[in-house]
C-alpha cells in the first residue's frame, strides 16, 4: 500500500503544475486599431463589397447618405467611415459619441474606429468617459451591459493602464466562467434570444483581440445553440414594411417585435462569421441567404452589411432534424416540416405553445389532452393520463410532458420488460418505442 500512497501524494502535489497554464495567464489585447469587429480580413471584405456596389452596401449607403435617422448612429456612421473613408461621417460619429445620448458600446466602437480623426481633446474626453464606465461598480450585469464594458476595455487597452485589463480578467474569469457557464452547467438556460447578439459580438471582440474563445468553456452548448435557434422560430413569416422576418419564440405573447427579430437575424449572421466551417453554422448560412429576409431598416442595415457574407456557401436547413430536445435545460421544439405553414410545438422557459393553422396558442404546461402527433414526434401530456397506445413509424420519437423534473419513472411497454427512465430538467420523458406498429405503454412513478 505504501508505494501506491506515495505515488498518489506525488500526483496530488504536482496537480497545480498539471493544470492549464492559460488559467493564470493575463487577458491581454495584442491588436492595433481598428480592433473591434473590423479586423483586416473583414474590413477587406467590406471594402470589396463597396467596390462591387453590392445590394447590402447600397442599402447602408442610401440610408446613411440620405440622412436617415439611424437608431445607432455612432455604430452606423463609424462603420460607414471605415469602409468608405469619408471623414465627414467619422466626425459625425465622434460628435455622437461625445453626446449625452451615446451608450458605452457605441462610444467604444467610435473610439476604436475613428482614432485617426479625433483631436487630442476629443480623445481625452472619450477616454475619460470610457474609463469612468469601467471604474463604476458593475450592477445588473446583463449580457448587453457586459458586452459594452468588454468593448470599452478592449478599445482602451493600451491607452489607460491596468483598468482595462482588470475588467477583462473579471469578465472572463468571474462573470463568464464562474457565473454564466456555472449556471448553464447547472441547468439554467441563462442565454436568452435577446442575449444572442450581444454575446456573439462580445465573443468576436474577445477572440479577435485576445485569442480567447469563450465557447471552449462549454463546447456542447455552443455546438447545439445554432440548431436550437433555428428550431425555436415560429413557422409563419412576418411581413414588415422594410423586409420579411422570421419571428423567434417568446414566452411573452403579443405582436411580433421587429427590433428583436432584427437582432435575432444579426445574431445568426454573427454566429456564421465566428465559425464558417462548423456544420451547424453552415445550415444557418443556408437559412440566412434568402434575399427577402435581408435587413433593410435603419436598425438592421448596418448589421446586415457588417456580418453577411453572401459568398460563403451554406447547407440546406431542410436537412436539419425537426426535433430539438435539450434535456439539461428541459426544452423541446418540434416542427412538422420546414415550410411556413408547418405545425410547431415549443416547451421552454416555463411556457408551452402550439402553432397550427396559422395561429399561435399558449398551452397550460399541465395540459390534459390527447397525444399530439407531429410528423416525426408524438407528444403525450401526463397531467392525468399515464397510459397510451400510439402508432409509431420508423422516424417518430415519443415525448411525455407534465411529469416531475429529474425524477425516475417505471415504463411498461407492451410485450417488453419494465424499465426505469429519468425525466429531464423540465419534466420531459423521452421513450423509445418499437417502430412500425401500434404499441401501448404506461408510466408510473
SS (H, E, C) 34-84: CCCCCCHHHHHHHHHHHHCCCHHHHHHHHHHHCCCCCCCHHHHHHHHHHHH
Domain boundary at 266, 282, 317, which? 317
Same domain, 326 and 313: no
Same domain, 97 and 187: yes
Q: Which pLDDT score, from 0 to 100, does residue 179 have?
A: 97
Same domain, 272 and 364: no
Q: Considering the domain boundaries, does residue 440 fall inside one?
A: yes
DSSP letter (8 states) at residue 165: H
Domain boundary at 317, 350, 377, which? 317
User: Is the Cα dihedral 29, 277, 288, 246 positive or negative?
Assistant: negative
Same domain, 302 and 335: no
Enter the C-alpha cell of residue 311: 459568398
Same domain, 225 and 357: no
The Cα 22–Cα 252 span in angstroms is 42
Strands (DSSP E) found in 71-139: none
Per-residue pLDDT of the chain (445 residues; tens, 9 = 90+): 333 333 333 333 333 333 333 456 789 999 999 999 999 999 999 999 999 999 999 999 999 999 999 999 999 999 999 999 999 999 999 999 999 999 999 999 999 999 999 999 999 999 999 999 999 998 889 999 999 999 999 999 999 999 999 999 999 999 999 999 999 999 999 999 999 999 999 999 999 999 999 999 999 999 999 999 999 999 999 999 999 999 999 998 889 999 999 999 999 999 999 999 999 999 999 999 999 999 999 999 999 999 999 999 999 999 999 999 999 999 999 999 999 999 999 999 989 999 999 999 999 988 889 999 998 999 999 987 789 999 998 878 999 999 999 999 999 999 999 999 999 999 999 999 998 899 999 999 8
The Cα 33–Cα 78 span in angstroms is 13
Classified as helix, coil or strand, 134 is helix
Global confidence as pTM: 0.92
Domain boundary at 277, 297, 317, which? 317
Bond into 212 cis (ω within 30): no
Same domain, 33 and 80: yes
Burial of 35 (0-12, 13-18, 19+ CB in 10 A): buried
Q: Considering the domain boundaries, does residue 6 fall inside one?
A: no
Grid-cell match 465573443, residue found: 203
Same domain, 406 and 424: yes
Please tell me the total count of domains within the chain: 2
Q: Considering the domain boundaries, does residue 14 fall inside one?
A: no
**Residue 189 sits in which domain range?**
23-317
CATH code, 169? 1.50.10.100
Q: Considering the domain boundaries, does residue 16 fall inside one?
A: no
Same domain, 351 and 387: yes
Count of other CB atoms within 10 angstroms of residue 109: 28
DSSP letter (8 states) at residue 372: E
DSSP letter (8 states) at residue 433: P
Same domain, 329 and 295: no
Q: Which pLDDT score, from 0 to 100, does residue 21 have?
A: 34
Amino acid at each position: 500500500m505504501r508505494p501506491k500512497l506515495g505515488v498518489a501524494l506525488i500526483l496530488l502535489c504536482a496537480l497545480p503544475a498539471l493544470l492549464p497554464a492559460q488559467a493564470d495567464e493575463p487577458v491581454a489585447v495584442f491588436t492595433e486599431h481598428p480592433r473591434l469587429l473590423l479586423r483586416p480580413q473583414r474590413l477587406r471584405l467590406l471594402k470589396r463589397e463597396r467596390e462591387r456596389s453590392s445590394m447590402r452596401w447600397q442599402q447602408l449607403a442610401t440610408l446613411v447618405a440620405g440622412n436617415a435617422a439611424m437608431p445607432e448612429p455612432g455604430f452606423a456612421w463609424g462603420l460607414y467611415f471605415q469602409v468608405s473613408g469619408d471623414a465627414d461621417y467619422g466626425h459625425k460619429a465622434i460628435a455622437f459619441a461625445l453626446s449625452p445620448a451615446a451608450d458605452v458600446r457605441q462610444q467604444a466602437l467610435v473610439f476604436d474606429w475613428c482614432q485617426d480623426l479625433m483631436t487630442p481633446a476629443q480623445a481625452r474626453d472619450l477616454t475619460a468617459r470610457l474609463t469612468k464606465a469601467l471604474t463604476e461598480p458593475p450592477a445588473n450585469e446583463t449580457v448587453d451591459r457586459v458586452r459594452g464594458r468588454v468593448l470599452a476595455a478592449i478599445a482602451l487597452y493600451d491607452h489607460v493602464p491596468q483598468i482595462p485589463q482588470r475588467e477583462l480578467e473579471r469578465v472572463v474569469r468571474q462573470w463568464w466562467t464562474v457565473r454564466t457557464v456555472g449556471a448553464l452547467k447547472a441547468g439554467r438556460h441563462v442565454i436568452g434570444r435577446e442575449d444572442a447578439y450581444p454575446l456573439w459580438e462580445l465573443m468576436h471582440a474577445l477572440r479577435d483581440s485576445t485569442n480567447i474563445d469563450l465557447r471552449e468553456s462549454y463546447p456542447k452548448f455552443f455546438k447545439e445553440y445554432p440548431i436550437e435557434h433555428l428550431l425555436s422560430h415560429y413557422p409563419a413569416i412576418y411581413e414588415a414594411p422594410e423586409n420579411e422576418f422570421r419571428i423567434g419564440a417568446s414566452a411573452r405573447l403579443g405582436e411580433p417585435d421587429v427590433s428583436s427579430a432584427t437582432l435575432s437575424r444579426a445574431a445568426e449572421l454573427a454566429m456564421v462569421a465566428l465559425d464558417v466551417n462548423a456544420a451547424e453554422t453552415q445550415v444557418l448560412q443556408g437559412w440566412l441567404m434568402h434575399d427577402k429576409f435581408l435587413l433593410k431598416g435603419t436598425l438592421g442595415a448596418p448589421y446586415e452589411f457588417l456580418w453577411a457574407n453572401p459568398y460563403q456557401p451554406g447547407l440546406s436547413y431542410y436537412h436539419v432534424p425537426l426535433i430539438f430536445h435539450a434535456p439539461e435545460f428541459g426544452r423541446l421544439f418540434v416542427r412538422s416540416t420546414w415550410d411556413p405553414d408547418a405545425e410547431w410545438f415549443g416547451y421552454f422557459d416555463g411556457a408551452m405553445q402550439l402553432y397550427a393553422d396559422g395561429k399561435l396558442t399558449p398551452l397550460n404546461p399541465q395540459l390534459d389532452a390527447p397525444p399530439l402527433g407531429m410528423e416525426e414526434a408524438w407528444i403525450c401530456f401526463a397531467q392525468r393520463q399515464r397510459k397510451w397506445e400510439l402508432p409509431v413509424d420508423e422516424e417518430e420519437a415519443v415525448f411525455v410532458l407534465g411529469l416531475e423534473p429529474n425524477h425516475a419513472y417505471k415504463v411498461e411497454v407492451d410485450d417488453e420488460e419494465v424499465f426505469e427512465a429519468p425525466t429531464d430538467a423540465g419534466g420531459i420523458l423521452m421513450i423509445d418505442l418499437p417502430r412500425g406498429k401500434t404499441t401501448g405503454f404506461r408510466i408510473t412513478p
